[in-house]
Amino acid sequence: MRTLRRDDLVCRQVVELVSDYLEGALSRRDRKRFERHLAACPNCTAYLEQMRVTIAATGRLTPEDLTAEARDEFTQLFRTWTTGEGGGHDDGPGGDTAGGGGAA
């Protein structure tokens, strides 16, 4: 058994740091503490892998495909939007420059 250093993390703390670790948001020092714990702890290593699997599986949830009816509807709408009502009427969104969509 290795002896516990004063700044060693325990498993209960490690599980709260997993997202920050995966997002690269831990300080250098905390990342080292985190990785030192992992190197000695198969349970937390397995837990980190479970989180990775969860994230990967979440990323594979596919949205519904566009139905043929919806496609026809959008075709009609596009024609209305681009030819129909007055072009000068400005109710569009802002651009993508800073400040367009809600500040920090």
3-state secondary structure of 33: helix
Neighbours of 14 (CB within 10 A): 20
- Our finding on whether 81 is near other proteins (CB under 8 A) is yes
**Which of 3, 82, 84, 86 touches other proteins (CB under 8 A)?**
82
- Encoding tokens for residue 7? 């700044």
- Our finding on whether 75 is near other proteins (CB under 8 A) is yes
Q: Which residues bind other proteins (CB under 8 A)?
A: 10-13, 15-16, 18-20, 23, 25, 42-44, 46-47, 49-51, 53-66, 70-71, 74-75, 77-79, 81-82, 90-97, 100-104
